[in-house]
Structure 1
Amino acid sequence: MTPFQHIHRSSFFAPAGTVTKSVTAVTPADLEGGTLPPDAADWVKASGFKADAGSVLVVPGQGGSISRVLFGLGSDRAESPFLSGRLAKLLPPGDWSIDAEGIAADHLALGFGLGSYSFAKYKSEKPRDARLVVSGDADAMDIERQLAGVLLARDLINTPTNDMGPDNLEAAFRALGEHYGALVSSIVGDDLLEKNFPLIHTVGRASAVAPRLLEMRWGKKGNPRITLVGKGVCFDTGGLDIKTATGMALMKKDMGGAANVMGLALMIMDAGLPVDLTVLVPAVENSISSNAFRPGDIYKSRKGITVQIDNTDAEGRLVLADALAYADETPPDLLIDMATLTGAARVALGPELAPFFTDDEDLAGKLLLAAKEAADPVWRMPLWMGYDKDLRTRAADITNSPSGGMAGSINAALFLKRFVTASPSWIHFDIYGWNPSEKPHAPVGGEAFAIRALYRVIRDRAQAGK
């Protein structure tokens, strides 16, 4: 199975012009208003259907056929723009079209596609075969492109570490680049020391699978330069500061930043945006062995900043530091990093909002607008320089884990900021990478955060030549 099974996947959508059965979206007010045909109205009454959000009622026709399907929107149509994801799970097999006044056609189609997803690589179950004809008001190719990026990120995160270690992540990374004709390279093992990526090597050296820095280049020189950096910690034991069993349970998702930037890169390349794109992924496993790095150790980073290790479980910022310093040596017009970095970010905003940090006011404003339009929620967090002093330590330039336990996500962002000094526009995302409860458009499991909003921002910038 390649990582691109979802690119322009026809099993989710039926071709335009396909003869379909009809889904009619209704609210409780519609039922009370008496607008349904008599046969449907009688069945609604007999079934007790109330048009609750996400509910489905199949209205039978003659001879056991389906006359129509009613889809409940609840009282607030805007409450869940991707409520159509429920249809993907509940509709009988066949090809369908949806009449849902007041819901954008692209949200209907994208919600249906997102809701069709299931991670069945290790199961024998067959996927559902209900398909949707995308309305002519929607951009079907762009919807499929965004869907492909999101589902790639989900697949990569959901895959367990025995099949998604640093070497497997490199294979998926190379497959993505080759699919779009990108140039892909990697620096592996002790070559990281020779090439001056000491922190990436330090974090990953205890694993049986060698650490590596993955690099992808795509696009045309002279176009706006975009660099994406994603944390690729394929499993995080916490190192010698070992996590509890509960804390370790979901650590296959600690490469969620890498998965998300790969999904975003897919969208950019598939759209053929006029950009000069670089993608960097430090891929490691934070494991425990006789050569694991220790609390109290001090290491010199690629940038020359010395870092004291006060917690081996604060490893993500270390691998990102070397990758960001490398990216910053040839400053892009826009530098984006994404990482499942701190539990503090989840305490602050929960599992649904994507926290971001930036000093670029114009970028922040455009991202917030794009996130609202795309129904891809983000929330700006402060790069509060008053806390920068907390990074100082007596024996080295900075610590990777300030004491006190406060402002954890801000301190991590300020740590990374030390390694980005030349790039004019930098934005850092501290994402969760996981959906802990089922939603209409998403099952429990790996999840993409903010990449549809970022895709809009990058697309607009590229088209404006910025």
Structure 2
Amino acid sequence: MSAFSYFERASVFADAAKDGRPIYALTPGELEGEDLDEGAREWVRANGFKAKSGEFLPVPGAGGVLAAALLGLGDAPKDAPFVTGSLAQRLPEGNWYLAAGDVEVHAAALGFSLGSYRFDRFKSAPETKARLCPPDGSERAELDRQTAGVFLARDLVNLPTNHMGPEALEDAFRRLGAHYGANVSVTSGDALLDENFPMIHAVGRAGAEAPRLLDMRWGRTGAPKVTLVGKGVCFDTGGLDIKPPSSMLLMKKDMGGAANVMGLALMVMDAGLDVDLRVLVPAVENAIAGNAFRPSDILTSRKGLTVQIDNTDAEGRLVLADALALACEETPDLLIDMATLTGAARVALGPDVAPFYTHDTALAGALSAASEAEHDPLWRMPLVAAYDDMLTTKVADITNAPSGGFAGSITAALFLNRFVEPGTRWAHFDIYGWNPKAKPHAPVGGEAQGIRALYRVLRERYGEA
């Protein structure tokens, strides 16, 4: 698998095509079909196997030796494209191949690969020993590449903050850059003030580890400029507007935007796309101390806009604003930011569907098409111009937390829009970055959202150098 060593995973794919035992992925209506011999059909009937989605049944052969496996697809297999993910943990050691089934070749193989993930940094987990022979028509390198990017994002989010604070995130960022020969620079501590990143400094200055801006550059000079910005709030107490304990339990994942853009950057660099790539991650901890920024403070941003702080728990948009302003100074051809930004996005679309915002209709169409093709759920939300007035405040150019509670995800996007230069091809993703319940291809925990769809758009637009 193409990944830097800190997050390396052994590939789950066998080298020899169809050198192994068969997997029959079947709908209920196919149980009596010609793909199964009479002995297997009798075994199905004896075990009450109904081919419900995700249902699994080992099939013995002569002498009781395991000869095959059955996987239920349910009545609507296209509604569960990664149902094969459960096989990575359930199949015994050895090589397996998909012998039959109404499944997409790429999705079936990718689901199996993604389903092999386990976060075992602090607790041992069984090693995945089952290997899948890549189906005909699948691209082994692409499967490994996408799996590596997703696993990187999952690992980063899953690590608790005492193992993934700003310093550790910088280390992971540098390791990623070094693996692909990228140039990495870091602006840290009071140097943020010297270099005019005042809001990144303000949000992170109360943390035990200094706030910093991570900056990675890779690719061909003169190629289209693609800039990725990821929110790297390694823990969010809420600041002086402190969160209740129940709301703090998952706040290690508040750097999910950073984790996702790093996973996407891995895919882009590993594929050798013809881009001039830049990755920006403001890495901070929103902590509480005597020097913490306060409600009613007024901050002057890198862009020069003044921001009234009406809630210190709306900190992610502040660090992103300085990073977006920096990104726009180079006039990128495409600017993407990703952030675990608002609870309002979860209320609107739940944990599995990531909303995105853009003024660019063509980009929105490409993202929506890629979302459907890659089974990577995205949904375009509107940048409602009339709601921009909600950001108005009497004593500064803009507030970071509009009152009233309406349209929280939209107003957060509109806030960021103020720091993006007009005419920039830009998209903002308000992701959750977490699976609250297990799926066939993903356990409970950190998750990559939107980056497989984004990678498809980038690959189609820019291809290899």
Partner of 1:397: 397
Cα 1:8–1:273 shift into 2, 3 Å: farther
8 Å contact from structure 1 (residues 8, 145) kept in 2: no
Q: Which amino acid letter does the alignment assign opposite residue 68 of structure 1?
A: A
Q: Secondary structure at the match of 1:363?
A: helix
Q: CA RMSD in A?
A: 1.6
The TM-score normalised by the length of structure 2 is 0.97
Structure 1, 263-272 or 454-463: larger mean CA deviation: 454-463
CA deviation vs aligned residue, 1:213-255 (integer Å, no higher than 9, x gap) = 0000000111110000000000000000000001000000000
Q: Deviations over 1:246-304 (max 9, x none)?
A: 10000000000000000000000000000000000000000000100000000100000
After TM superposition, the structure 1 = structure 2 runs for residues 417-428 of structure 1, keeping only pairs within 5 Å, are 417-422=417-422, 424-428=424-428
2:33 aligned with 1:37, yes or no? no
- Write the distance in 2 (CA, Å) between the matches of 1:5 and 1:14: 21
Q: Secondary structure at the match of 2:136?
A: coil
- Show structure 1 runs of 4+ deviating over 6 A: none
Match of 1:239 in 2: 239
Instruction: Name the SS for the 1:86 alignment partner.
Output: helix
Letter in 2 for 1:152: L
Q: Do the aligned residues in 1 keep the contact of 2:54 with 2:86 (CA within 8 Å)?
A: yes
Tell me the equivalent position of 2:353.
353
The answer to whether residue 153 in structure 2 is matched with residue 149 in structure 1 is no
Q: SS where residue 285 of structure 2 aligns?
A: strand
1:377 positional shift? 1.0
Q: Which residue of 2 aligns with 1:337?
A: 337
Distance 1:256 1:418, change over 3 A: same
Give the gaps of 5 or more residues in structure 2.
none
Letter in 1 for 2:397: D
Confirm or deny: 8 A CA contact 1:154 1:448 kept in the other structure.
yes
User: Does structure 1 residue 98 correspond to structure 2 residue 92?
Assistant: no
Aligned length: 464
> Which residue of structure 2 aligns with residue 57 of structure 1?
57
Shift, 1:10, TM fit: 4.0
2:437 paired residue number: 437
1:109-129, Cα deviation, whole Å (9 max, x unpaired): 100011110101111233221
User: For the residues of structure 2 that align with 1:464 and 1:364, how far apart are their CA atoms?
Assistant: 23
Equivalent-residue separation in structure 1 for 2:91 and 2:291 (angstroms): 54
The corresponding residue for 1:408 is 408
2:176 counterpart SS class: helix
**Partners in 1 of 2:6 and 2:91 — Cα distance?**
20
1:159 equivalenced with 2:159 (yes/no): yes
Question: Residue 215 of structure 2 corresponds to which residue in structure 1?
Answer: 215
1:244, 1:38 → 2: CA distance?
60
For the structure 1 residues 348 and 60, does the alpha-carbon distance in structure 2 shift closer, same or farther, using more than 3 Å as the test? same
**Are 2:180 and 1:180 aligned?**
yes
Question: What is the alpha-carbon distance in structure 2 between the residues aligned to residue 304 and residue 8 of structure 1?
Answer: 42
Give the alignment's TM-score, normalised by structure 1.
0.97
User: Secondary structure, in 3 states, of the residue corresponding to 1:265?
Assistant: helix
SS at 1:161's partner residue?
A: coil
> Contact 1:177 / 1:184 at 8 angstroms: preserved in 2?
yes
**Contact 1:86 1:440 (8 Å CA) reproduced:** yes
Aligned positions of 1:306-385 closer than 5 A: 306-385=306-385
Percent identity between matched residues is: 62
